[in-house]
Structure 1
Amino acid sequence: MTNLEVSSPAPVDPDGDWASLRVDCARMVPHWTAPEPTASRPVPPSLIHGVSVPVRSARLLDAMSDYGD
């Protein structure tokens, strides 16, 4: 038989302050899993096609300095 009763060990804070968010996140950590790391390989330029950039965006990027000088 499945127990459908759910109880929360900490009361819910309707204001949602940072302390309650941290408590909620710490309580959820055991339920989260990270995906296995995979090695990615570079894509050859010959396979990259079909990308278009609007002219306004290209001009905007061209007018920006590289390092904010």
Structure 2
Amino acid sequence: MTTYPAPAERHESDLSLAELCGAGARMAPHWVAPAGPAPTPVSPSSIHGVVVPAASARLIAATAEYGG
């Protein structure tokens, strides 16, 4: 008797970045955000940068699809 392996189930974590972007683009029209007040302009001298926790930076750096 010949046995055949069952097809592997595909999990969300197995999706490629391109597939995730496509899924997001298809869902976007279904998620309408209410119009809110326009953001208040900020002078460039008030912007001092972004602080990212070291653990978060290491996580992204270790992910090949995001540049690690």
Query: What is the TM-score of this pair, normalised by structure 2?
Result: 0.33
**Bigger Rg, which one:** 1
Question: Normalized against structure 1, the TM-score is what?
Answer: 0.33
The structure with the greater share of residues assigned to helix is 2
